[in-house]
Structure 1
Amino acid sequence: MKKKYNRQPIINERIKYPKVRLIDVLGKQLGIYSSEEALKIALEKGLDLVVISNKSEPPVCKIINYGKYKFEQEKKAKEAKKKQHNTSVKEVKMRYKIEEHDYKVRLNQALRFLQSGDKVKATVIFRGREIQHLHLALELLNKMSTDLQNISEVQQIPSKDGKNVTMILVPQKKS
């Protein structure tokens, strides 16, 4: 059975180490104390004793306002999450005998997806015996890759996939 990783820091009475290295609110080292003495000092100041690092010997504890500390940690995590962008694959579908205006609409869709950092899967769909016009689909996808070459790179060249022909474009790397 996998051990669940607990992200909650060890605070106050839950600290079971015999000795701890104590740091005050301002970040100044106070020295090595027993856990009980360190907790007493923290409680006298109306604050909490929190284990910052249990990797060292003795573990490092800091006297802080735990509520404020927890709030700051959550705020940092939220900011980091905002800055993350998960790329997804967006699909643009069309037929091999697409009109010029419709092609431009699909091109603009693909352009918008690429600018927002997503991959684009361009698909040309065939019905019935239309598959015999495979060369027209390949020409269409090559035209699209040429039209978008200044902001994208071809990750997967046009290839037949059942009754469809697909190509995958990715945003260009910023240098």
Structure 2
Amino acid sequence: MNEQIREKEVRLIDSEGNQLGIVPVMRAQEMADEKKLDLVKVAPNAKPPVCRIMDYGKYKYEQAKKEKESKKNQKVINIKEIRLTPRIDEHDIVVKTNKAIKFLQSGNKVKVTVRFKGREMGHTGIGKEVLEKFAEMTSEAGIIEKKPKLEGRNMTMFLVSKN
């Protein structure tokens, strides 16, 4: 921008967006100074490079404002994990499903994991039944995104909210 531009000629665009054609850099800088604005290189790879007369501080401020606005509109989805065992009791699974329903209603994904220990690895079907029961109990708030899958000693399933 301004005196940092080293090319001899540039294609110039004024502050209203009108093209002024190919102009020597010194003349473009003088025109920017007359309007008390900055000469900013917009397309440095073009032949000749494209420069624009603008208020650079205002431009940077508006870019930061747009970026902040776009971040504000983003919805961050967190993954909450709930761990179960194949031998989980009825009351414990009810407590865990209530917690999962709260997570799903607040817009988060839920990763449900059944961890197998020792000889439980021989009975992975029981873990799958626990996960299917869990999915059925949370069916009013969420649906299965990824079906139960055994990975090492853990069987995992992902739930997402219905809305």
TM-score, normalised relative to structure 2? 0.78
Structure 1 residues 72, 123: closer, same or farther in 2, change over 3 A? same
- How much identity, in percent, do the aligned residues show? 43
- SS of corresponding position for 1:46: coil
Q: Any conservation in 2 of the 1:25–1:63 contact (CA below 8 Å)?
A: yes
**Equivalent residue of 1:27, what SS?**
coil
The 3 A distance-change label for structure 1 pair 113 and 48 is same
* CA distance, structure 2, for counterparts of residue 145 and residue 120 of structure 1: 11
In structure 2, the CA distance between the partners of 1:64 and 1:99, relative to structure 1 (3 Å rule), is: same
- TM-score between both structures, scaled by the size of structure 1: 0.74
Please tell me whether residue 168 in structure 1 is matched to residue 145 in structure 2.
no
| Correspondence for 1:63 | 53
Q: 1:121 is matched by which residue type in structure 2?
A: K
CA distance in 1, matches of 2:94, 2:80: 17
The 1-side partners of 2:94 and 2:17 are apart by 61
Distance 1:31 1:118 in 2: 54
Counterparts in 2 of 1:22 and 1:112: CA distance versus 1, 3 Å: farther
Q: Deviations over 1:42-75 (max 9, x none)?
A: 0111110111122432222111111111111112
Q: Among 140, 145, 148, which residue is 1:157 paired with?
A: 148
Q: Output the CA distance in 2 between the equivalents of 1:172 and 1:39.
A: 57
Q: Aligned partners of 1:145, 1:77: CA distance in 2, in Å? A: 39
Q: Does 1:42 align with 2:27?
A: no
For 1:159, the aligned partner's letter is L
Is the contact between residue 22 and residue 38 of structure 1 (CA under 8 Å) also seen in structure 2? yes
Map of 2:81 onto structure 1: 91
User: How many equivalent residue pairs?
Assistant: 162
Report the AA paired with residue 76 of structure 1.
K
Asked whether the 8 Å contact 1:118–1:170 carries over to 2, the reply is no
Distance 2:106 2:47 in 1: 48
CA distance in 1, matches of 2:151, 2:60: 54
**Alignment match, 2:96:** 106
